[in-house]
Structure 1
Amino acid sequence: MDIKQERGNQGQVYQDAAAIRQAVFVTEQGIDPQLEFDGEDAQLTHFVGYVAGKPVVTARLNETVHPAHIQRVATLEADRHQGYAFALLQAVLAQLGNQPVALNAQETAVDFYKRLGFKQVGEAFLEVGIVHYQMIKE
């Protein structure tokens, strides 16, 4: 898998990330597009994993907060269970080095993030109508 990253919302990597997010979060999960595309994309870094030139997985990184926050992790439905999200997040984490990082995990993804070294903190909460847990990797 080839991983590319781009800061802002003007280039091809962002367009590919947005298309994956549209397919997964808006179309598949029914999240309101105004909530999904929250106006923060221009200031953040977007990662996309490509397989044979096709974008299959994405994540967004917010380094303007402490700890840094991984957001909008999504894999196209046809490409799930291939290890793409795991590999993409390993690359994001490697770039961050030893600094702490947080994310809000959908309930169904908590065990996935635990495999990457994240620990669940606090109680469940609703975000965009879906149960989430805050997770931290120190």
Structure 2
Amino acid sequence: MTERVVATDATLELIERLKGKHGPLMFHQSGGCCDGSAPMCYPLGEFLVGDADVQLGEIGGCPFYMSRAQFEYWEHTQLIIDVVPGRGGMFSLEGPEGLRFLTRSRLYTDEEWAELSTRPVG
């Protein structure tokens, strides 16, 4: 089954480290305001999601959300959440680790898109 959002091994390792410090986590793909367009990591429930947000899936057992309007632009791409050295978003939990989450993407194949088009996002 094709996933809308996946994580690299380095990302999964960082998620586990952050869970150990902060407990359950959640992600929201920033729409480009204060912290650019970056995946933001919060303690679960700290960022309030609403009707304008959709859950794309989970990474490392953590729900991953994006605004519905932004999803309309990204729906043909798989989000690949990676981690790189640098300063993260000022509101995101990875900042003090000297790392930041980064969204990479790739277009779905025709077969993957056919499968995904039968599964609406939540």
TM-score scaled by length of structure 2: 0.29
The structure showing larger relative contact order (alpha-carbon pairs under 8 Å, at least 6 residues apart) is 2
TM superposition score normalised by structure 1: 0.27
